Structure 1
Amino acid sequence: MRPSSDRNRHLDDDLDSNHDLDVSADPGPREECGVFGVWAPGEDVANLTYYGLYALQHRGQESAGIAVSDGRRIVVFKELGLVSQVFDEQTLSSLRGHLAVGHCRYSTTGSSVWENAQPTFRTTAAGSGIALGHNGNLVNTAELRDEVAQLVASGAAQQSKIAATTDSDLLTEILAATAADVGLEEAATRFLPRVRGAYSLVFADEQTLYAARDPHGVRPLVLGRLERGWVVASETAALDIVGASFVREVEPGELLAIDEDGLRSTRFASPEPKGCVFEYVYLARPDTTIAGRSVHAARVEIGRRLAQEHPVDADLVIPVPESGTPAAIGYAQGSGIPYGQGLVKNQYVGRTFIQPSQTIRQLGIRLKLNPLREIIRGKRLVVVDDSIVRGNTQRALVRMLREAGAVEVHVRIASPPVRWPCFYGIDFATRAELIANNLDEEGVRRSIGCDTLGYVSVEGMVAASEQPRSRLCAACFDGDYPIPLPDAARLGKHLLELSPSVPTASGAESGDPGPLSVGSGAVDALRRS
């Protein structure tokens, strides 16, 4: 699902090229999603969740939502837009309760429409509600789709008028169909071993907050302690912002349950750790810690190793802000070349629902970055970026720097060549669109127009993470997918939109009146069905 903060929105995120200068067709590695949950009687859980999601905004900017329970009823508010656009003080003050589930989304399964915003919600046959947020991407979505169809056909689930098309929705549906008989905790323990792919889940019924992580632990998920409660979140940075102390990571294959009886842990699968190495390179905030390793420190070390692996005579090292900054600092330290700021980033250019005119699109990279000519002019530059996907952004950047007076432009990339798509929660381009899949390093260099090009090696990147190679997934770099993939026909972001319609159940349509779904999108979705 989804998918890095001040970190960072990478140039490729929003800028594109009309072969050089269009601002929307070269999305680089898009994030997946951010999840946040809190159980804290007596605290303002809606506000805590809002700030937690704000800290995780880099992981998804398409929609945001919060579900709150007061012990009797779950209230859901979700809408398209950034966290700060979706929620205001009036909305947050209406979300009262003792536990909450929050989610910010970038779509890796299903389109960016209100129906696919999270948390998802379902009502069990017993009348209790389930709200769920998911970070990751499943690889047996087609099987789960067929299972839901069977549940509807058998009468175990009721048909919904809200046509969501996400793997997360299927998870919620199946949990709801089985929880009425055995309870949500037992239903999750039985069901999660059958779910294949990457998932860090935060979900809840009216009384209990749950968190679960897939057996490979592809996406991060951490547990924190408040004075009067508990927090779970995608990254440690979200714990920091709400004043929670870090306790530990949710382990791969672990289900946590938090309620008035305390915290319970269940192992539903044997752990086989394969954490995503791209979290260290780009996805996570630099002020996050993953598996005991500071993301910022890992990125600086990648830069140092880049300097060792690809030295060059130059006058100045500059980053592509913000995601290239730590690696550029490391490159300067490792090479002895001075570090400086050669590009100024417009912090307020981001995703928008207003499509720019062609005139604005042709501004291209200058809408996002502007060179400091007095610093660049006459210099031999080392330009450090986090990754190259299609190459359009780097091509435009090299041209802009030469126009600003750079004598030489040497590009250094803080990750190996991206040659394979990700099926576990990062929305890369298709393999055919990945420039490193079609060209060797010299071909990429010529394509983007720089004087020299160097990528950090897989070995250097892994060493910088301080994690054993055996515990990391680097499939986008080496094509070694740790979770087996189905046939291509049963994969894809829009699988559930291209396949026959799958009826699903919803609390809003079952015997229980369901959640209070507020936000204009909710009404529109029911009207359109």
Structure 2
Amino acid sequence: MSGIIGCISFSGENVYPSLIEGMYGLQHRGQDSVGLGYYIDGKPEIVHYPGIIGDCSYPVVSTNSGIGFINYAFTEEKKSQESLPKIINDTVVAFDGKCSSDSDVAYAHVSIKPTRLMCSRDTYGIKPLIIGKVDNTWIVCSESCVIDTLGGTIVRDVKPGESIIITKEGMHCSDTVVTSHHLCLFELVYIARPDSHIDEISVYGARIKMGHYLYEEKPTEGDIVVGSPDSGMIAALGYSQASGITYQKALVKNRYITRTFINNDDVQRKQSIKIKLSVIKELITGKRVILVDDSIVRGSTIKRIVKLLKEAGAKEVHIRVSSPPVLFSDNVSIDIPKKEDLLCYGKDLDAIRQEIGCDSVYFLSLQGLKSACGAQKFYTQYFDGKSPFKGENK
């Protein structure tokens, strides 16, 4: 779930400004630390900083090639691992993901030298990786939104199992070895920015359809539809479109609080939730509220929102989630180390409803979610316990 950007120019341009701007475009993918790797007079240098890119006093340099890395660390164990990028044999290297058991590879990789940029994607295509150009600068990054923000042109997604080398002569592609395409479904549910396209799937369009399918599966009477900021708001708009129930932005988010799901400190996460959201009471009082969220993992945020809505005078609060319950641990994509950390683990819908404190709760079916995203195969270990590596529950 981390973010990578690699930039290289073969005509003398300084890619460093693009590198920094691109890292801002990937900040939603992690907030634990940032790393930079680049070449000065042909020699590699790396720097690492805790926190987010906007908090860093990073050096101002001129370089024709470099890598930026946004780190997501769910656990203290991950937080203590070696920072990226790193230098291996005078090459700057970074990757999003990890190697799984049985020598299966499950990460997106980018490495760079002054004369070439290399990238590769795991044979299942779990992690996203895309190539673009801004004038004479080649860019490889985790999401297309970065290339768009920099004013560039999308070349194409890196294919599952593909390795690519970019030199001054152009792009050289290996034969693609596709085991079976399994893009991480949580990318489309939560991780990716809505203005991104991943494997030619519009993240925004998929989230709108999630809301449509959610209403079709569980029509519910209500007075207003409200989205949980920020990642639930697009599905909420889709739910409103399908149901005809008015959509209202009744929850106000403090824009200076970063994403609480990816905070690995439980105390800090709960404190952030308290100051993250507030309610526009006149929109809520006496209303039957349909609250749409993208997912429920630990449940801390959704509990807080329901409490806020009830305190604001909501007559009823019905939770509608645009993905299935997260029930299984995962160490490839969203790093859930223990099933016991999950709110939905071992509970039926009524028990979940009672824990959240709402009047009803419903989760979009896995088939409905897949249909909203194009009905292809996806990585879904956290929803159904099925891994493409093993094909069985864990």
- What is the TM-score normalised by the length of structure 2? 0.92
Over 3 Å counting, the alpha-carbon distance change for 1:67 and 1:381 in structure 2 is same
Check the 8 A contact 2:124/2:178 in 1, yes or no: no
- Partners of 1:100 and 1:132 lie apart in 2 by 10
Find out whether 1:244 has 2:114 as its counterpart.
no
287, 305, 314: which one aligns with 1:379: 287
User: How far 1:270 moved relative to its partner?
Assistant: 3.6
User: Which stretch shows the higher mean deviation, 318-327 or 200-209?
Assistant: 200-209
Find out whether 1:320 has 2:228 as its counterpart.
yes
99, 113, 137: which one aligns with 1:138: 99
Over 3 Å counting, the alpha-carbon distance change for 1:381 and 1:290 in structure 2 is same
The CA deviation string for residues 457-513 of structure 1, in whole angstroms up to 9 with x for no partner, is 111100110142xx2111211111002399x9xxxxxxxxxxxxxxxxxxxxxxxxx
77, 95, 118: which one aligns with 2:47: 77
The aligned counterpart of 1:293 is 201
Over 3 Å counting, the alpha-carbon distance change for 1:70 and 1:363 in structure 2 is closer
Find out whether 1:475 has 2:362 as its counterpart.
no
Mapping 1:43-58, distance limit 5 Å: 43-58=13-28
Amino acid at match of 2:92: A
Find out whether 1:104 has 2:70 as its counterpart.
yes
User: How far 1:429 moved relative to its partner?
Assistant: 5.2
- Partners of 1:362 and 1:233 lie apart in 2 by 31
Amino acid at match of 2:115: Q
RMSD: 2.5
- Partners of 1:361 and 1:284 lie apart in 2 by 20
The CA deviation string for residues 397-427 of structure 1, in whole angstroms up to 9 with x for no partner, is 2122111100000001011011112221212
- Partners of 1:139 and 1:385 lie apart in 2 by 30
The CA deviation string for residues 282-331 of structure 1, in whole angstroms up to 9 with x for no partner, is 01000000121210110011001111111111100001111110000001
- Partners of 2:269 and 2:146 lie apart in 1 by 34
The CA deviation string for residues 365-385 of structure 1, in whole angstroms up to 9 with x for no partner, is 431101111111111100011
- Partners of 1:326 and 1:307 lie apart in 2 by 14
The CA deviation string for residues 171-205 of structure 1, in whole angstroms up to 9 with x for no partner, is xxxxxxxxxxxxxxxxxxxxxxxx52421011123
Find out whether 1:459 has 2:356 as its counterpart.
no
Over 3 Å counting, the alpha-carbon distance change for 1:333 and 1:270 in structure 2 is closer
Over 3 Å counting, the alpha-carbon distance change for 1:351 and 1:282 in structure 2 is closer
The aligned counterpart of 2:6 is 37
Check the 8 A contact 1:391/1:435 in 2, yes or no: yes
- Partners of 1:459 and 1:362 lie apart in 2 by 32
The aligned counterpart of 1:200 is 108
346, 355, 379: which one aligns with 1:438: 346
Check the 8 A contact 2:64/2:114 in 1, yes or no: no
- Partners of 1:37 and 1:348 lie apart in 2 by 27
Over 3 Å counting, the alpha-carbon distance change for 1:132 and 1:372 in structure 2 is same
- Partners of 2:272 and 2:137 lie apart in 1 by 47
Find out whether 1:410 has 2:318 as its counterpart.
yes
User: How far 1:430 moved relative to its partner?
Assistant: 1.3
The aligned counterpart of 1:20 is none
Percent identical: 34
Check the 8 A contact 2:46/2:85 in 1, yes or no: yes
Q: Which has the higher helix share?
A: 1
- Partners of 1:204 and 1:210 lie apart in 2 by 6
Structure 1 runs not aligned, ≥5 long: 1-31, 124-128, 144-194, 489-529
Check the 8 A contact 1:303/1:328 in 2, yes or no: yes
Amino acid at match of 1:39: I
Mapping 1:341-420, distance limit 5 Å: 341-350=249-258, 365-420=273-328
SS of the residue 1:398 aligns to: helix
Structure 2 runs not aligned, ≥5 long: none
257, 266, 269: which one aligns with 2:165: 257
The CA deviation string for residues 102-144 of structure 1, in whole angstroms up to 9 with x for no partner, is 111012684425x722101133xxxxx021111112214xx8x
296, 310, 330: which one aligns with 2:238: 330
Check the 8 A contact 2:8/2:114 in 1, yes or no: no
SS of the residue 1:66 aligns to: strand
- Partners of 2:269 and 2:328 lie apart in 1 by 29
The one of the two structures with greater contact order (alpha-carbon pairs below 8 A, sep at least 6) is: 1
Check the 8 A contact 2:124/2:182 in 1, yes or no: yes
User: How far 1:87 moved relative to its partner?
Assistant: 4.3
- Partners of 2:78 and 2:249 lie apart in 1 by 38
- Partners of 1:442 and 1:467 lie apart in 2 by 29
402, 423, 428: which one aligns with 2:331: 423
Check the 8 A contact 2:15/2:137 in 1, yes or no: no
- What is the TM-score normalised by the length of structure 1? 0.69
Mapping 1:481-492, distance limit 5 Å: 481-484=387-390
Amino acid at match of 2:126: V
- Partners of 2:160 and 2:295 lie apart in 1 by 28
Over 3 Å counting, the alpha-carbon distance change for 1:308 and 1:361 in structure 2 is closer
The aligned counterpart of 1:190 is none
